[in-house]
């Protein structure tokens, strides 16, 4: 494998995803494009893409806040035929080790749906709760050595050192813990929490908030 990481603008991304054949891959890719159109800037934060010998294998949408405190990962997309090949891990590693370090980012946060949890959990990422949209949330220090240092960053999460306003703001998003979701989504969240086991740290997070307030 001879990989290269590059940026895609909207036109390049659309042209790339239209080559996909798997329905769910196309659907998720288009939803990510629409989200970026509505809320973010393709000029400031183009789609990050991993290619091998001209074939585009994986896509990642992220943005960095104006204070350069947070790098937020929005979508990490691997078309069906390229899954379980390690390309998503390579692309995420590039984002953390090169872009994160270059911009001196302090922390990482991710909101993801239950279907993506298995990938992140294998990398050692734990989750603090679920928001009202059924998205699992995590927040941890920037792993300075890339993906391989995620478990250490997660262990020294430092959530208790966040400013009170930020901490309570996160709690407001997560306090329902998935209880208000429609039945189908609620069941998916319950199943995902069981899969995460001790990696689902909602009770620990609530304890951090109670101690801070």
pLDDT in tens, 59-117: 999 999 999 999 999 999 999 889 889 999 999 999 999 999 899 999 999 999 998 99
Instruction: Quote the mean pLDDT of the chain.
Output: 95
Local confidence band at 124 (pLDDT 50, 70, 90 cut-offs): very high
Say how many Å lie between the first and final Cα of the chain, rounded: 51
Q: Does domain 3-212 have CATH number 3.90.950.10?
A: no
How many CB atoms neighbour CB 53 within 10 A?
9
Give the predicted TM-score (pTM) of the model: 0.93
Q: How far apart are CA 148 and CA 124, in angstroms?
A: 9
Answer yes or no: is pLDDT of 1 > 90.
no
Residue 22: the pLDDT is 87
Residue 23: the pLDDT is 84
Domain-by-domain residue ranges, the chain? 3-212
Answer yes or no: is pLDDT of 41 > 90.
yes
């Amino acid at each position: 494998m001879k990989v290269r990481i590059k940026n895609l603008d909207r036109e390049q991304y659309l042209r790339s995803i239209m080559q996909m054949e798997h329905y769910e891959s196309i659907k998720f890719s288009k939803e990510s494009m629409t989200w970026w159109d509505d809320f973010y800037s393709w000029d400031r934060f183009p789609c990050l893409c991993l290619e091998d010998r001209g074939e585009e294998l994986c896509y990642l949408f992220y943005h960095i806040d104006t204070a350069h405190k947070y790098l937020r990962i929005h979508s990490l997309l691997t078309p069906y035929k390229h899954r379980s090949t390690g390309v998503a891990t390579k692309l995420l590693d590039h984002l953390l080790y090169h872009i994160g370090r270059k911009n001196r980012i302090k922390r990482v946060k991710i909101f993801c749906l239950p279907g993506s949890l298995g990938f992140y959990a294998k990398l050692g990422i734990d989750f603090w709760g679920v928001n009202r949209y059924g998205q699992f949330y995590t927040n941890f220090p920037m792993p300075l050595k890339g993906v391989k240092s995620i478990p250490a960053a997660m262990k020294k999460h430092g959530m208790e050192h966040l400013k009170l306003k930020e901490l309570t703001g996160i709690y407001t998003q997560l306090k329902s813990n998935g209880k208000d979701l429609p039945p189908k989504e609620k069941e998916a969240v319950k199943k995902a929490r069981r899969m995460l086991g001790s990696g689902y740290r909602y009770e620990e997070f609530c304890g951090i908030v109670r101690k801070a307030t």
